[in-house]
Every structure is written in C-alpha cells, then in structure tokens.
Amino acid sequence: MSNRPPSITRTYAGYLGLRLVLFAAALAICILLGMNGLLAVLVALLVSGIVAYPLAKRQRDEIARALQNRRSGR
C-alpha cells in the first residue's frame, strides 16, 4: 500500500456524495411530513447543511490539506 493521501478528486467526490445522500434523505423526510415544492427543498437544504457540517469534517479537512499541498508544490 502506498503512503500517498487519497486524490483530491476522490475525496471531493466522496464529500459531494455524502452531501447528496443527506439532502435526498432530508427531502424525503420533508415530503413525508407533508411539505410541498419549494418549501420542502429549502428546508431540506437547511437541514442537510446543518447535519453535514459535523459529518463531513474529515472530507473538508482532507480537501483543504490537498489544496494547500498543491499550492505549496508538495
């Protein structure tokens, strides 16, 4: 196994996947609770953003580290 960190593309794809799953779950719950249309989407965006903040910390930190390493030429 290599000691190289995962690529930024793979980490970012994982981060986006997590955010999409959280949004879809929040939207499904909003719809099950009887919300319709734009209200359901807005509430789902808010809830998924709040939930993703602590859950996606590792991925955000890895992306920031990879960008910093790229900028410094490592």
And the tokens for 63?
């992306």
Q: Is residue 50 part of a domain?
A: yes
Mean pLDDT of 11-25: 93
Distances in Å between the alpha carbon of 43 and those of 9, 24, 35, 50, 51? 29, 12, 9, 11, 12
Q: How many domains does the chain have?
A: 1
Look up the domain containing 61 and give its range. Answer: 20-72
Instruction: Pick 51 or 66 by higher pLDDT.
Output: 51
CB 42 within 8 A of CB 26: no
Closest among 21, 26, 53 to 40, alpha carbons compared: 26
First to last CA, the chain: 20
Count Cα neighbours of 32 within 13 Å in the Cβ-side half-sphere. Answer: 6
Q: Is residue 11 part of a domain?
A: no
Q: Rounded to two decimals, what is the model's pTM?
A: 0.78
Q: Is residue 9 part of a domain?
A: no
Q: Is residue 7 part of a domain?
A: no
